[in-house]
Amino acid sequence: MEVIKVSSRNRQELVEITAKLRATLGERGWRQGVLTVYCPHTTAGITINEAADPSVVQDINGTLAKLVPEGANYRHMEGNSDAHIKSSLVGCSEQILVERGDLVLGTWQGVFFAEFDGPRSRKVYVGFSPGNE
C-alpha cells in the first residue's frame, strides 16, 4: 500500500491525481492487476471523469453546490454537512484496472480527489491486487 498526499486550495475542488497514480505504478513496478484508490476522509471522495476539458470539472462542482448547498439548514454543528453529503454522493474509492504498467482509462478520463471541506492537506491510500500476467 502507498499513501499519496493531496492539497486543495479551495473549499470545494476536484484535484486530478492521475499523474501521481501513474508515478506510483512505475515506482512500485505494478504491471498487471487492479489498483484501489481510497479516501479515508468523510468530507472528500474519489471519482473518475473527463480530465481534458476543465469546464467538466467546473460543471460537476457547480452542480454539486446547487444540489447540496453549503449554507442550508443542517443539524450537524461543524458547518460542513454539505461536505459530508457530497462525499457520500461521490464515494470514497475507485478501482482501476492496470495493464502493462498503466491505468486502463478512457481517452479523456482522469482520476480526481474530490475536496468538499478545504482547503486542506489530505491523504489518499493506494492498494494493488496483482493479476495474472
Cα–Cα distance for residue pair 4/27, rounded to 1 Å: 13
Q: What is the CATH number of the domain that holds 98?
A: 2.60.120.460
Tens digit of each residue's pLDDT (9 = 90 or more) over 119-131: 999 999 999 999 8
At 36, list the grid cell.
Answer: 484501489
Which pTM value belongs to this model? Answer: 0.96
Quote the number of domains for the chain.
1
Residue with cell 502507498: 2
Angle in degrees, CA 11, 12, 17, rounded to 5: 115
| Average of per-residue pLDDT across 47-59 | 97
